[in-house]
């Protein structure tokens, strides 16, 4: 994947997709990430236009309701469309690029229990994992832990589905994060943000009622990108606690203990600086500064699921492997539906797009090769 990813940068431009430099105000992403100009939808629009120009027919508003698979060999798909009704489409190869199952709350609950009711889903409500389920039921080998996913802490006021990128919060490293009992639970300054933002969804998911609050003061408000939802403000810690329905005494105590533990240092959010705490658990190992300048501010956050890692096992040709290890004759997979082959747990910024584009290209190439023979 890493080898092919270098070439993808140019290849995808040939398909009409455009890049832009790292976005203004994003935290430490300038050194690590490229961005699509106009965002993901602009990328998809460009790829669809290229596909149409090449003569590819796209069936919109079409739901695959069944796959006919015999002995690891794809034969046909049953498709339901609002106008044509149910039809069967036969093909020589299949590339499954149908995503994970993050929008299927019942499926999430099988593994997470009732906690999944408090998850917010960052993408489309249609990502219900129905194709993934069909493939696994028809003999494709599964890969990945069903509870593992790309999950970030997003604003608790975001819509249940499809809040997208704009509900993110980059402010964790500038403050502290407490749960509903006003207790801290993880080192907010463990590592630079592009390496850590994708663990906070799981961390919040493990807290009671799956809710947490990023708490900071007025001195850092302009240190991170402006947010869709304004921070909740209080002139005193007690007033803020009241608005967040936290126990005021507990929040006062947590902040006071944190402030007392902060050691002097030279603050620099671009490096692992020496601003840290001493004598509290958990510690804040970098970027620790006292929270003492009113107004006191907070963002409520919940787990925001971007995509799940459970998927179909593939080999390096993106070919699906059947239970028992035999490669499928003509079934390939790309994107989220096979991300679990690469991602066990954790994440680093940009990997999802890289998996999608690299394995999309490989799967397409191999599927075409099979169809030609």
Partner 1 sequence: MHGTRILDEADRLMTVCNSCRYCEGLCAVFPAMEMRRAFSDGDLNYLANLCHACGACYVDCQFSPPHEFNVNVPKTLAVARAESYAAYAWPRALSGTFARNGLVISVIAALSMAAFILGFAALNDRGVLFGVHTGPGAFYRLMPHNAMAALFGAAFLYAILALVMSVRAFWRDIGEPIGGRADGGSIFQAIRDAGELRYLHGGGVGCYNEDDRPTDRRKLYHHLTFYGFLLCFAATSVATLYHYLLGREAPYPLWDLPVLLGTLGGIGMIAGPVGLFVAKKQRAPELLDEQRYGMDVGFIAMLFLTGATGMALLILRETAAMGPLLALHLGAVFALFITMPYGKFVHGIYRFVALVRYAQERRGEAGS
Count of positions on this chain that bind partner 1 (CB under 8 A): 30
- Residue 232 engages partner 1 in binding (rule: CB under 8 A): no
Quick check: 127 and 102 in contact, CB under 8 A?
A: yes
- Residue 89 engages partner 1 in binding (rule: CB under 8 A): no
- Write down the least CB distance from residue 226 to partner 1, Å: 5
201 phi and psi angles, rounded to 5 deg = -60, -45
Can you name the residues that pair with 67 across neighbouring β-strands? Answer: 77
277 phi and psi angles, rounded to 5 deg = -100, 160
Looking at residues 256 to 315 of the shown chain, list those that interact with partner 1 (rule: CB under 8 A): none
- Write down the least CB distance from residue 247 to partner 1, Å: 31
Task: Name which of 171 and 328 has its Cβ closer to partner 1.
Answer: 171
For residue 45, the SS3 value is helix
One residue of 18, 235, 316, 365 binding partner 1 per CB under 8 A: 18
- Write down the least CB distance from residue 129 to partner 1, Å: 21
- Residue 42 engages partner 1 in binding (rule: CB under 8 A): yes
Task: Name which of 89 and 165 has its Cβ closer to partner 1.
Answer: 165
Task: Name which of 156 and 182 has its Cβ closer to partner 1.
Answer: 156
Q: Read off the tokens for 244.
A: 């967040």
CA distance 336 to 353: 9
- Residue 50 engages partner 1 in binding (rule: CB under 8 A): no
Torsional class of 16: left (φ above 0), alpha (ψ -120 to 50), beta (otherwise): left
Task: Name which of 248 and 295 has its Cβ closer to partner 1.
Answer: 295
- Residue 345: partners with Cβ closer than 8 Å, 6 or more residues away: 145, 148, 309
One residue of 39, 242, 282, 346 binding partner 1 per CB under 8 A: 39
Q: Read off the tokens for 246.
A: 């936290």
- Residue 24 engages partner 1 in binding (rule: CB under 8 A): yes
One residue of 92, 141, 147, 227 binding partner 1 per CB under 8 A: 227
One residue of 49, 68, 368, 371 binding partner 1 per CB under 8 A: 49
What Cα–Cα distance (Å) separates residue 190 from each residue in 145, 262, 301, 330?
25, 15, 19, 45
Any idea what the Cα angle at residue 21 is, between residues 15 and 26, rounded to 5°? Answer: 125
Can you name the residues that pair with 233 across neighbouring β-strands? Answer: 297
Task: Name which of 162 and 274 has its Cβ closer to partner 1.
Answer: 162
Task: Name which of 33 and 183 has its Cβ closer to partner 1.
Answer: 33
One residue of 7, 20, 65, 278 binding partner 1 per CB under 8 A: 20
Angle between helices 248-261 and 237-244 (to 10 degrees): 130
- Write down the least CB distance from residue 225 to partner 1, Å: 6
Can you name the residues that pair with 169 across neighbouring β-strands? Answer: none
Consecutive H or E run containing 53: helix 40-53
- Write down the least CB distance from residue 48 to partner 1, Å: 9
- Residue 133 engages partner 1 in binding (rule: CB under 8 A): no
Burial status of residue 238 (CB atoms within 10 A of its CB: 0-12, 13-18, 19 or more): middle
For residues 135 to 174, the per-residue mask of contacts with partner 1, x marking binding by CB under 8 A and - elsewhere, is ------------------------x--x-xxx-x------
CA distance 258 to 306: 32
User: How far does Cα 7 stand from its chain's mean position?
Assistant: 24
One residue of 47, 51, 211, 228 binding partner 1 per CB under 8 A: 228
- Residue 142: partners with Cβ closer than 8 Å, 6 or more residues away: 136, 310, 311, 312, 313
Q: Read off the tokens for 20.
A: 């832009």
- Write down the least CB distance from residue 38 to partner 1, Å: 3
- Residue 349 engages partner 1 in binding (rule: CB under 8 A): no
One residue of 82, 85, 226, 264 binding partner 1 per CB under 8 A: 226
- Write down the least CB distance from residue 162 to partner 1, Å: 6
For residue 162, the SS3 value is coil
- Residue 91 engages partner 1 in binding (rule: CB under 8 A): no
Binding site for partner 1 (CB under 8 A): 16, 18, 20-21, 23-26, 35-42, 45-46, 49, 159, 162, 164-166, 168, 222, 225-228
């Amino acid at each position: 994947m890493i080898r092919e990813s270098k070439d993808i940068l140019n290849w995808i431009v040939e398909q009409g997709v455009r890049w832009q430099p790292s976005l203004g105000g994003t935290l430490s992403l300038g050194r690590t990430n490229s961005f699509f100009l106009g965002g993901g939808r602009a990328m998809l629009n460009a790829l669809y236009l290229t596909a149409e120009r090449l003569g590819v027919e796209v069936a919109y508003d079409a739901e695959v309701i069944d796959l006919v698979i015999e002995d690891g060999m794809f034969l046909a798909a049953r498709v339901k469309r609002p106008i044509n009704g149910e039809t069967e489409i036969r093909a020589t190869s299949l590339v499954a690029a149908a995503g994970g199952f993050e929008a299927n709350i019942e499926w999430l609950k099988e593994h997470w229990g009732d906690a999944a009711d408090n998850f917010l889903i960052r993408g489309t409500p249609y990502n219900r994992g129905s194709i993934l389920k069909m493939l696994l039921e028809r003999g494709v080998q599964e890969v990945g832990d069903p509870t593992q996913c790309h999950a970030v802490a997003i604003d608790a006021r975001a819509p249940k589905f499809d809040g997208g990128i704009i509900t993110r919060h980059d402010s964790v490293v500038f403050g502290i994060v407490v749960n509903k009992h006003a207790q801290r639970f993880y080192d907010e300054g463990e590592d630079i943000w592009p390496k850590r933002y994708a663990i906070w969804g799981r961390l919040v998911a493990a807290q009671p009622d799956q809710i947490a609050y990023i708490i900071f003061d007025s001195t850092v408000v302009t240190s991170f990108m402006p947010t869709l939802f304004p921070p909740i403000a209080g002139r005193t810690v007690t007033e803020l606690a009241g608005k967040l329905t936290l126990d005021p005494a507990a929040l006062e105590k947590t902040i006071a203990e944190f402030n007392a533990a902060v050691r002097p240092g030279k603050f620099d959010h671009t490096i692992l600086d020496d601003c840290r705490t001493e004598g509290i658990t958990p510690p804040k190992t970098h970027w620790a500064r006292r929270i003492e300048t009113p107004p006191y501010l907070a963002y409520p956050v919940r787990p925001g699921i971007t995509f799940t890692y459970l998927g179909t096992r593939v080999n390096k040709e993106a070919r699906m492997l059947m239970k028992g290890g035999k490669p499928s004759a003509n079934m390939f997979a790309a994107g989220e539906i096979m991300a679990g082959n690469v991602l066990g747990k954790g994440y680093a910024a940009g990997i999802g797009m890289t998996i999608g584009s690299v394995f999309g290209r490989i799967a397409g190439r191999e599927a075409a090769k099979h169809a030609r023979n």
